[in-house]
Amino acid sequence: MIEAVGGEGDGVAAGPVYAPYTLPGERVRLRGRGERRELVEVLAASPERVVPPCPHFGVCGGCALQHWEHGAYLAWKVQRLAATLARQRIETEILPPFAAPPGSRRRLTLHARPGKRDEARLGYKQRKAWTLVAVEVCPIADPRLEAAFPALRRLAAPLFENPKSAPSLHVTLADGGVDVDISGVAHKAGGLSADARMRLAEAAGAANFARVTIDGEVAFMARQPRVRLGAATVALPPGAFLQAVPQAEAAMAAFVTEAAAGASRIADLYCGVGTFTFPLAGIAPVLAVDSEAPAIHAITAALATAPGLKGVTAEVRDLVRRPVLAMELKRIDVAVFDPPRAGAAPQAAELARSQAARVIGVSCNPATFVRDAALLIEAGFRLERVLPVDQFLWSPHIELVGVFVR
């Protein structure tokens, strides 16, 4: 009998025993030994079980929970977030979650392997394996990206001159079209041959892609990929981080700006290309800081597209080795931080020592968020409210935005 769903999305039976694609209350037949088993048959299905929308589900490792009714699945994610907060004895108001709809992902990472001369195999990795699962459809993807799969297979075909190459295509749907940054190409002396580069550019041009880069170096460019962030139009650097779902980005930006209302000066730490910087700059002057120089340069260049902002000062700085110090934040009354999965412990410690009245934390990892939150709470902040964000549909991952007040 499956009793619960664990943190990776597998069903959990007594033992514990973990079984993928199972739900609480189900009786199932499993194979294997030890804690990790494989599902053979569902003997008694949960009333919450639904037909997965993707024909690749169960083989492809991209999604774990397509078989679960959406309301129950979303409630499980919110409960996991609440339990993570409770383990640190953090009590707060958890708001109704934002839930990304199917067909909304504008950013995908697709893996390529050799196929025909003019068409590579393209898809995702198999669950808990390195084997490629070639995909024809992907219900999480924006339909315009899904429609580009055949062209992306042709684009990847010239990348295998070196047998050690295992390319990944980081694909973003931007204003102006599809932007592709390719990694994992093993180079011989001098990199790809002139013939391979020509074939790559021809495939990109035939597909009307906006830009193709290899490890950040431009291999083809018809148009500059851009995105609208607040009042600004930002030219995306190659491989730049962007929220995966534009609706999630809009919901988080609206929540952050609402929480920052009334500020006189704002710090946006780990600002990226300005997801929150530009909406916040409509409220008050913003200090925007990030370790990625191309992102900071993109913010600076985009200021000319957004007259009427209160002002943005952008700085390149490694916030792990050189966090913005409390004394440097003395004029800041609202601070926003949006770190990578590892969290922001050094910067959170400085925010805790600062005189900021409000701190807004954006996180893709609740475990590191609660660690950083503990530093703020110990210094006299209270986590007032949390917005759960289900941006990665049918995965076990949940994101959040939390508002701290003194």
Q: Which amino acids are annotated catalytic?
A: 364
CB 100 within 8 A of CB 393: yes
Cα distances (Å, whole numbers) of residue 45 to 19, 53, 71, 140: 14, 18, 17, 25
Burial 150-164 (b: 16+ CB within 10 A, else e): ebbbbbbbbbbeeee
CB 251 within 8 A of CB 400: no
User: What is the CB neighbour count within 10 angstroms for residue 115?
Assistant: 15
